[in-house]
Every structure is written in C-alpha cells, then in structure tokens.
Amino acid sequence: MSLQNITDEQFEKCVCGCKGLTNVRRDTYIENRLNYVEGIGQLLPECYERIYGPSLIEEVRAKLWLQDIGIVL
Ligand SMILES: [Zn+2]
C-alpha cells in the first residue's frame, strides 16, 4: 500500500469539486472541524474562503469598525 492510499483513506476530500485532500481526518468530530459546513461537508480552507470568505471578511470589518468607535463585542 502506498502512502498516497493511506492518506486518501484517512482524510476527508474537499466537497467543492476540486477533489483536494483536506487535513481533516475522517474520524474527527464535526464540532472539532474547521471549514466544515453542515449539510454540505468538508472544504479546504481556500475553498471555504472562496465560497464564504467575502461575508466573513465583512463581519470582521464591521467588528473592527465597532471597536474603533469604542464598542467591544
Ligand atoms: Zn475544494
């Protein structure tokens, strides 16, 4: 068995269609996963960012702006 096969079996593939291999093991609890979308599946960080990034960045910007004017969430 090659190393590639072991990796393929133990780690989740990105569900966006890029077929990229994530660094999330299949036996990882959903609550402990990053870039996991309920009902969709595991995404690579860059794919997650591509799909969900803009809104997240807007959220961070809004928070930073609130901190700027003295409101801490
Ligand atoms: Zn992907």
The predicted-structure confidence for 22-55, as pLDDT tens digits, reads as follows 999 999 999 999 999 888 899 999 998 888 876 6
Task: Give residue 21 CA to ligand 1 midpoint distance, Å.
Answer: 8
45 within some domain: yes
31 within some domain: yes
pTM of the full structure:
0.62
Residue from 40, 21, 20, 35 nearest 10 by CA: 21
Rounded CA separation 35/49 (Å) = 9
Task: Give residue 1 CA to ligand 1 midpoint distance, Å.
Answer: 26
Dihedral of CA 22/25/26/31: which sign? Answer: negative
In this prediction, residue 29 carries a pLDDT of: 94
Task: Give residue 59 CA to ligand 1 midpoint distance, Å.
Answer: 23
Counted domains in the chain: 1
43 within some domain: yes
Amino acid in the structure at residue 71: I
73 within some domain: no
Give the domain extent around 36. Answer: 3-68
For the cut 80, the answer to whether the pLDDT of residue 8 exceeds it is no
Task: Give residue 46 CA to ligand 1 midpoint distance, Å.
Answer: 7
